[in-house]
Amino acid sequence: MAKIGFIGVGNMGGPMARNLIKAGHEVVAFDLSEAALAAVEAAGGTRVAKAVDAAKGVGTVVTMLPQGKHVRAVYLGDQGILGVAEPDTLFIDCSTIDVATAREVVAEAVKQGHAMVDAPVSGGVGGAEAATLTFMVGGETAAFERARPYLERMGKKIVHAGGAGNGQVAKICNNMILGISMIGVSEAFVLAEKLGLDAQTFFDISSAASGQCWAMTSYCPVPGPVPASPANRGYQPGFSADNMLKDLRLSQEAAATAASATPLGEAAARLYEQYVGKDGAGTDFSGIVRMIRGE
């Protein structure tokens, strides 16, 4: 079994690290949060006092951090983990971050004689706990194959999306579809309701017709038709509107660098910005239906 450094053991990284421990690996964790570290320790991991200490003397390092600026700070520069790791360490960054930073950090890792993949996830905290995450992985094939056995302990579906940064590309393009489709579904349910068609009847028709999509059938934004959807528990996340806004912003940053027109992605980012600024922060992203209804 391997000795693995794990940096960023929050809502997602915590349960992911626990699944590696359950699989028999030795996990050395670092986080800025005392509570997050205590939880890993309680699960059988070891804590260290600095990020660099989680990267010394281990063959593999996993990171699960909030944003590109955190990933950059942890990996690069004088205090960065790339500089202290053993030659040919494998780095797996599971954070959802901007494509440009992901590509830059992987290139730097490779330049310094290491292997690295970007491996953002979908599946949320429930998927992290149950080890059923989907990993979208970018990087060289050899690095992907080295990462696969660890990813399989934390997830169910592991997909190689191509070269460095392509994991992030897959993640933000997928979530751009999700943000746009949630707004579309919300507009349709509100319009149907205002025209006198009740939500359940509309759901029964549209979920079996060409309007069918995941935002409707798994995360239906109105209470009733899909009992497990966040709409039935006051829009508690689930997938938070804040995280949706973050991912839509990443898609817009990437679209600008690629000169790719994404008018609906742009509109979705604007609407989620409005919703989070209003009263949507901390709610599930399907709660945007309330703003569309004019509540």
Cβ-based nearer residue to ligand NAD, 12 or 216: 12
Q: Closer to ligand NAD at the Cβ: 119 or 183?
A: 119
The stretch near ligand NAD (CB under 6 A) out of 3-11, 254-262, 269-277, 280-288 is 3-11
Dihedral sign computed on CA atoms, order 262, 243, 160, 8: positive
Q: Applying CB under 6 A, which of residues 27, 74, 117, 199 lies at the interface with ligand NAD?
A: 74
Catalytic, 69? Answer no
Q: Are 169 and 161 in contact (CB under 8 A)?
A: yes
What is the Cα–Cα distance from 11 to 26, expressed in whole angstroms? 20
Instruction: Check binding of 11 to ligand NAD (CB under 6 A).
Output: yes
DSSP one-letter code for 11: T
20, 28, 29, 65: residue in contact with ligand NAD (rule CB under 6 A): 65
- Please give the residues from 44 up to 63 whose contact with ligand NAD meets the rule CB under 6 A: 51
Q: 86: which DSSP letter?
A: P
Q: How far is the CB of 34 from ligand NAD (least distance, A)?
A: 9
Count CB neighbours of 128 within 10 A. Answer: 24
Residue with smallest beta-carbon separation from ligand NAD? 10
Which range, of 69-77, 198-206, 227-235, 265-273, touches ligand NAD by CB under 6 A? 69-77
Query: What CA–CA distance (Å, rounded) separates 90 from 4?
Result: 10
Q: Catalytic one among 22, 171, 194, 246?
A: 171
Using CA atoms of 161, 72, 21, 125 in order, give the dihedral in degrees to the nearest 10.
Answer: -70
Residue 66: HSE in the Cβ half-sphere, 13 Å Cα cutoff: 9
Interface region with ligand NAD, contact rule CB under 6 A, candidates 30-38, 42-50, 148-156, 177-185: 30-38
**Residue in the structure block whose two tokens are 């901390």:** 282
Question: Is 2 in a helix, a strand, or coil?
Answer: coil
Which positions lie near ligand NAD, rule CB under 6 A?
7-8, 10-13, 30-33, 36, 51, 64-66, 70, 73-74, 95-96, 121-122, 124-125, 239, 243, 246
Q: So which residues are the catalytic ones?
A: 171
